[in-house]
Structure 1
Amino acid sequence: MTASRRPLASSPFNQPAPPPAQVFEVGQRVAHDAHGLGWVVAVSGTTAVTVDFGTQVSHLALPCKSLQSL
């Protein structure tokens, strides 16, 4: 019989929980670190999003750390 061990809070081997998946909807206002404010114009499932930043339309792969929903 194998004893189950309780993980220690100070262990360097503890992995942080993954961040929740980003969910975007058409018409949602977003902010990008480089492009600024924009509107979501299309969503391709959970893999990509198309955003209109006013001066350009960008197709961004998800997850995108620099894209924030407002």
Structure 2
Amino acid sequence: MTNRSAHQRHLPTSPFKAPAAQAIKDFTLGDRVSHDRYGLGRIIGTELTGGAVLVDFGSSQTRIVSPYTGLHRL
């Protein structure tokens, strides 16, 4: 059996396009953000080594790790 979740390499001779690399999002303190689940918030902390940000959504503070899925800068 094979593991389908494993990364498959792209052959240069393939007629299909290689999957596009996701752009790395960069947030700084004080940035206003929107999250798909939590709503509007503000960045109140960043972790350089862990690749995570701490976001204050008013009613709660949430730590969101990289690749920051669902988090968008306003």
Letter paired with 2:27: F
1:56 aligns with 2:60: yes
The 3-state SS of whatever aligns with 2:21 is coil
Instruction: Select which of 49, 67, 70 maps to 2:71.
Output: 67
> Which ranges in structure 2 are unaligned for 5 or more consecutive residues?
1-11
Map 1:1-70 → 2, pairs under 5 A: 11-12=15-16, 14-45=17-48, 47-70=51-74
Structure 1: runs of 5+ lacking an equivalent: 1-5
Q: TM-score, normalised by structure 2?
A: 0.74
How far residue 7 of structure 1 moved from its aligned partner, in angstroms, is 5.3
Q: Which has the larger radius of gyration?
A: 1
Cα distance per residue 1:11-70 (max 9 Å; x no partner): 22x213212101000000000001000000001126100000000000111112200111
- The Cα RMSD (Å) is 1.7
